[in-house]
A and B are shown apart, each in its own frame.
Chain A
Amino acid sequence: MAHRTSPVVLLRRFLLNVILRLSAIALVACLAMILVRYAPGFETDDRDLDPALGAATRNAIHQQRLAEGSLTEYARKLASGILHGDLGVSVALGTPIRDLIAQRGPATLRILLTGIALAWIGGLAWSLGLAICRVPSLAGLSVLASAFLLCLPTAAVAALMLNVDWPAQMVLALVLLPKVFQVTRGLITQAFEHAEVLAGRARGLRTTRLLGFYVLPRIAGPMLAWLAATVGLAVGAVVPIEVICDVPGLGQLAWKAALARDLPVLVVLTLLVATLIQFSSSASLLYQRGPRS
C-alpha cells in the first residue's frame, strides 16, 4: 500500500527547503561581494590608462572608488535596495539596476527558454529516433557527432555559428543538444535493459508501444531532474553566446559590468543567477525525495 505523507510534514519540508535555498542565496551574495571587493584589480580603474589624467586626479579616483567599495556600506545599500525594489544603481551606467534587468531580461529569458526547449526537443527526438530505428551506423554517427560537439567550447560554437548567421537561441540549443542527447540516450538504453521492458519485447510488443507505455514513464522523473540541471548549464553558456552574438541581454550586461568593475551590477546578477539555479534545482530534489515519501 502506498504510504501517504501528511500535509503538515509536506509543508514543513517545503518551508525548510525554501529557508535553506534563501540562506544559500544570501550566502552567495555575501561571497560575491567579498570576492569582488577583495579582487586584486578592484582598486584599478579603466581611467588609469588615460594619459590625460594627472597623478592627483588618479589618486582622487582611487579614493572615491575605495569609499564606494566599503563592504559593510555596500551590503547595507544592497539590502535597502532590495527592500525598496530598485536593487541599487549601476556605477558604470548610472542607471537603476532594476531598469537594466527589465530592459535586458526579456532577451535572455527568450534565449534561455527557446534554447532549452529546442535542445530538449531535439535531444529527445534524436534519442527516441535511434531507439526506434535501431540502426547501429546511425547510432555510431550520433555518438561521434555528440562527442565532437561536447569537445568544443561554447564561445567557439557561437563564433562558428556567427559565420552562418544562426540566432543566439539556436546556438544555445546546439551547445546543450549533445549533453541532452547523451543523458536521454543513457536513460533510454538503461530503461530498455529493465526486466519489464525485456519481457515486453520477448512477447513481441512494438518498440513505439514499449517506449510509450514502459520506457518514457520510467525515465520521466530523471529527465525532469536533468531538465533542472540544464538550466544551470544554459545560464553558464548564455554569457559567451550573448557576448559573441552581440545580444543585449543579461549575459552581456554581466560581461560589461565585469569589465567596468561595476560591483553593484555584478552582485545583483550573481544573486539573480543563484536564485534561478537554486529554485530550478529544487525540482531535482523533489524527484529525489519523491520515491522515499
Chain B
Amino acid sequence: MSPLRACGRSLSSGQEQAKTPAPQRRINRLQALWSRPLACVDFRHRRLRITAIAVLLLFAGLSIGAMWFAPDYATQNRDCIQQNPSWKYPLGTDELGRDNLSRLLSGLRLSLLLSTLAAACACALALLFGAVSGLAGGFVETILLHSINLVESVPWLFLFLTVRALLPLNVSPSASIWLTFALLAALGWTHAARVLQASVREIRHSEALVYARACGIAGWRLWVYQALPGLRRVSLTQFTILIPTFILAEAGLGLLGLGVSEPLPSLGNLLRQLEKPELVHAHPLVLTPLLVLLLVILSLRTVSGDLEVTA
C-alpha cells in the first residue's frame, strides 16, 4: 500500500484526528485529496483498463455512428470557411468549408479500422516468422534472427518514409489508404516476430511439451494442440501493441504529407493544421484531433499493458 493511501486511511480514524490540530488536519485532507488520484496511477489497475476500454468503445461507436449523423466529410461549403463552432458545425469548419467533426470522426474510423487490420496482418506475419524460426532452431533460426536484426538496423520510420515516397505519384485517395496501412504491416512485424520467436523457443523446451511427447503426441498435433494455445496470449498482446503503433505511424506520416491522400480524412491529415501557428492561436479547436489521438492511444496502450510504469 502506498504511504499516502495509508495516510488517507489513518486520517479517517477518529483517534488520530483528535490528536492532530485543525489547520494541520485541513492541510492533510487537501494533500490527500490532491495526491490520492495521482498516487494510484498504475496502468495495470483493472479499473483503469475498464475505463480505457469504455473510452475506446465510445470513440469506436461515435466514429461508426458518424456514418449516419455526420457523413459529409468531403462537402465543401464555400460560405462557411473556417467558421467557429455552431449547432450546425459543432467543431467548426476548415479552410475549405468542410465539417471538422465529420472529418474527425471519419478519420478516426479509418485509422482504427485499418490499423487493426494492419496489426492483424503484421501479427500473422510475425507468427509465421517466429514459429518457423522457433520450431526449426539451429541454422534457420540464426538466419531468420539475423534478417530481423537487419531490418531493425534501419529506423523504421526512415525506411517507411523512403518506401512510401517511392509509390506512384498518381495514387488514388482510396488506394493511398490501403498502401499506407499495407506498408505499415509489411514493415512493422519485426519486433513482434522477435517476441513470438522467443515464446516458441520457450514452449519448445517447456516441460508441458516434453510431457506431451512422452504421452505419444507428435507431428502437427503436438504443435497445433499443445504449442499454439501457448502462443495465443503473446500474439494477442503483440496485436494490441501494434494497433496504437500503426495509428501513431500513420498520424506521423499524414503530418508529413505522406499518409492518406486528400480529400479522405485521417488523423494524420487533420493534424497538419498544427503546422500553422496562426491557425492554432486563432482556432484552438484545431487541437481536437490531437486530443482524440492522445486519448485513443493512451486507452489502447493501457489495454495492451504497454504503459506499465507504476508510480
**Which residues of A have CB within 8 Å of B293?**
151-153, 156
Query: Assuming the A-B contacts A27-B150, A46-B169, are A140 and B41 also in contact, with contact meaning beta carbons closer than 8 angstroms in the complex?
Result: yes
Q: How far is the CA of A155 from the CA of B255 in the complex (A)?
A: 6
Q: How far is the CB of B257 from chain A (nearest CB, A)?
A: 9
**Which residues of A have CB within 8 Å of B39?**
136-137, 139-140
Q: How far is the CA of A35 from the CA of B206 in the complex (A)?
A: 39
Query: Assuming the A-B contacts A148-B298, A155-B255, A261-B165, are A163 and B290 also in contact, with contact meaning beta carbons closer than 8 angstroms in the complex?
Result: no
**Is the pair B168, A44 in contact by a Cβ cutoff of 8 Å?**
yes
Query: Assuming the A-B contacts A155-B256, A278-B153, are A136 and B2 also in contact, with contact meaning beta carbons closer than 8 angstroms in the complex?
Result: yes
Q: Does A143 contact B (CB under 8 A)?
A: yes
**Which residues of A have CB within 8 Å of B256?**
155, 240, 243-244, 255
Q: Does A31 contact B (CB under 8 A)?
A: yes
**Is the pair B154, A28 in contact by a Cβ cutoff of 8 Å?**
yes
Stretch at the interface among A206-214, A218-226, A269-277: A269-277
Q: Does A90 contact B (CB under 8 A)?
A: no
- Per DSSP, chain B at the interface is helix
**Is the pair B290, A270 in contact by a Cβ cutoff of 8 Å?**
no
**Which residues of B have CB within 8 Å of A286?**
none
Q: How far is the CA of A290 from the CA of B252 in the complex (A)?
A: 38
Nearest CB to that of A48 among chain B residues?
Answer: B169
Q: Interface 1/0s, chain A 31-62, versus B by CB < 8 A? A: 11001100111101010110000000000000
Stretch at the interface among A80-88, A117-125, A191-199, A231-239: A231-239
- Per DSSP, chain A at the interface is helix
Query: Assuming the A-B contacts A36-B166, A159-B255, A163-B280, are A140 and B40 also in contact, with contact meaning beta carbons closer than 8 angstroms in the complex?
Result: yes
Nearest CB to that of B281 among chain A residues?
Answer: A163
**Is the pair B255, A240 in contact by a Cβ cutoff of 8 Å?**
yes
**Is the pair B275, A159 in contact by a Cβ cutoff of 8 Å?**
yes
**Is the pair B307, A150 in contact by a Cβ cutoff of 8 Å?**
yes
Q: How far is the CA of A140 from the CA of B156 in the complex (A)?
A: 31
Nearest CB to that of A160 among chain B residues?
Answer: B274
Residues of A250-279 at the interface with B, using a CB-CB cut-off of 8 Å, are: 254-255, 258-259, 261, 266, 270, 273-274, 277-278
Query: Assuming the A-B contacts A155-B252, A266-B162, are A273 and B275 also in contact, with contact meaning beta carbons closer than 8 angstroms in the complex?
Result: no
Query: Assuming the A-B contacts A140-B40, A236-B157, A270-B158, are A156 and B166 also in contact, with contact meaning beta carbons closer than 8 angstroms in the complex?
Result: no
**Is the pair A148, B294 in contact by a Cβ cutoff of 8 Å?**
yes
**Is the pair B294, A144 in contact by a Cβ cutoff of 8 Å?**
no
Q: How far is the CA of A156 from the CA of B267 in the complex (A)?
A: 11
Nearest CB to that of B156 among chain A residues?
Answer: A236
Nearest CB to that of A134 among chain B residues?
Answer: B3
**Is the pair A39, B41 in contact by a Cβ cutoff of 8 Å?**
no
**Which residues of B have CB within 8 Å of A154?**
157, 252
B271's partner among A31, A148, A156 (CB-CB below 8 A) is A156
**Which residues of A have CB within 8 Å of B49?**
none
Q: How far is the CA of A162 from the CA of B281 in the complex (A)?
A: 12
Size range of the interface on A? 35 or more
**Is the pair A49, B154 in contact by a Cβ cutoff of 8 Å?**
no
Nearest CB to that of B5 among chain A residues?
Answer: A136
B277's partner among A41, A152, A162, A233 (CB-CB below 8 A) is A162
Nearest CB to that of A31 among chain B residues?
Answer: B150
**Which residues of A have CB within 8 Å of B165?**
41, 255, 258-259, 261
A39's partner among B156, B163, B297 (CB-CB below 8 A) is B163
**Is the pair A49, B169 in contact by a Cβ cutoff of 8 Å?**
yes
Query: Assuming the A-B contacts A144-B38, A156-B255, are A41 and B155 also in contact, with contact meaning beta carbons closer than 8 angstroms in the complex?
Result: no
Q: Does B301 contact A (CB under 8 A)?
A: yes
Nearest CB to that of A251 among chain B residues?
Answer: B158
**Which residues of B have CB within 8 Å of A240?**
157, 252, 255-256
**Is the pair A270, B168 in contact by a Cβ cutoff of 8 Å?**
no
Q: How far is the CA of A152 from the CA of B309 in the complex (A)?
A: 17
Beyond A153-B255, A156-B274, 7 additional pairs, beta carbon < 8 A = A48-B169, A141-B41, A151-B248, A152-B290, A182-B309, A239-B157, A240-B157
Show the binding face of B for A, using Cβ within 8 Å. 2-4, 31, 34-35, 37-41, 43, 146, 149-150, 153-159, 161-170, 244, 248-249, 251-252, 255-256, 268, 271, 274-275, 277, 280-281, 290, 293-294, 297-298, 301, 307, 309-311
Show the binding face of A for B, using Cβ within 8 Å. 24, 27-28, 31-32, 35-36, 39-42, 44, 46, 48-49, 135-137, 139-144, 146-148, 150-156, 159-160, 162-163, 182, 185-186, 232-233, 235-237, 239-240, 243-244, 254-255, 258-259, 261, 266, 270, 273-274, 277-278, 281
What are 6 A-to-B residue pairs whose CB atoms are below 8 Å? A41-B167, A144-B41, A151-B297, A239-B157, A274-B154, A277-B155
